[in-house]
Amino acid sequence: MQHFTLKGQTRKVGNKAVIKAFRKEGLVPCNLYGNGVEPKLFTVSAKDLQSVINTPVSYILDLVLDNGKAQTAVLHELQFHPVSDICLHVDFLAVNETKPIAIEVPVYVSGHPVGVQKGGKFVQNLRKLRISALMKDLPDDIRLDVSKLDLDKKISAGDVKVDNVKVLTDKDSVICTVRATRNSSSAEASAEGEAPAEGEAAAE
C-alpha cells in the first residue's frame, strides 16, 4: 500500500478558544493513539490534510512531528462541520508492520457484464471495502472482473478472495449486481420465442 508523509506540530490540551484559533490559522487539531504508543496531540495543515481525505486512494500515513521521527498510522475517525463540511478534528491510529491493520480500500470493477448485454442495468453499491492484513500485504485497492455477471446476479463482500487479506465488511453486503429491466425481460422473451434455426425441427 502507498505511503503518504504528513507533517504536524505537537500541541498541548487547549480550551475551545485555543482550538478555534488553530482552525482560524488553517490548522486541524489531531490525536494519535493506539498500538502501545504514547498518545500525542498535534495539528496538521488543513490544506495538506485534503490530499489524504479528498481522494479514493487509501494510504499508510507517515506522521512526522516536531522531533522529525515518523510514526506510521491510519485515519481512524474524522469530524466534519455539519454545514460547511470542513474537517474539524482527526483521530489517527498508530500501526506497525507486525500487527494486522484494518483499513478501507477502494473497489474498482472491469469488464462488460453479460447481464447488461441482455438489457440489464449494472449497479455498484459499494465503492470501498474494509479489510485487514499485515502492512506488507495490504493492497492499494480491490479489483473485480464483472464480465460474467448475469441478470439478477450479484457479487457480495463474502465472494472477494485476496491472498493474506481478511475482508471485514459484512459478507452479505452487495458490492455490485445486474438488475433486470423491462428491456432485459423483453429480450429474454423474444429469445425464447424465436423460430427454430434452419435445419432444426420445431418442438411439438
pTM for the whole thing? 0.81
Helix extents (H) in the chain: 16-24, 46-53, 114-117, 182-192
DSSP string for residues in 143-165:
EEE-TT--TT-EEEGGG---TT-
Domain count, the chain: 2
Q: Does residue 149 sit in the same domain as residue 186?
A: yes
CATH number, position 109:
2.170.120.20
Question: Which residue segment(s) compose the domain that 89 sits in?
Answer: 3-96
Q: Pick left, alpha or beta for residue 68 (phi over 0 → left; psi -120 to 50 → alpha; otherwise beta).
A: left
In a domain, 60, yes or no: yes
Residue 9 CA to residue 166 CA, distance in Å, equals 35
State the average pLDDT for the chain: 89
Q: Which residue has the cell 462541520?
A: 81
Q: Compute the radius of gyration of the chain from its Cα atoms.
A: 24
Residue at which a domain ends, from 48, 63, 96: 96
Q: Does residue 166 sit in the same domain as residue 123?
A: yes
Residue 10 CA to residue 62 CA, distance in Å, equals 15
pLDDT digits (tens, 9 = 90+) for 60-102: 999 999 877 889 999 999 999 888 888 999 999 999 999 999 9
Is pLDDT above 80 for 193? no
The number of beta carbons lying within 10 Å of the beta carbon of residue 164 is 11
Is pLDDT above 90 for 184? no
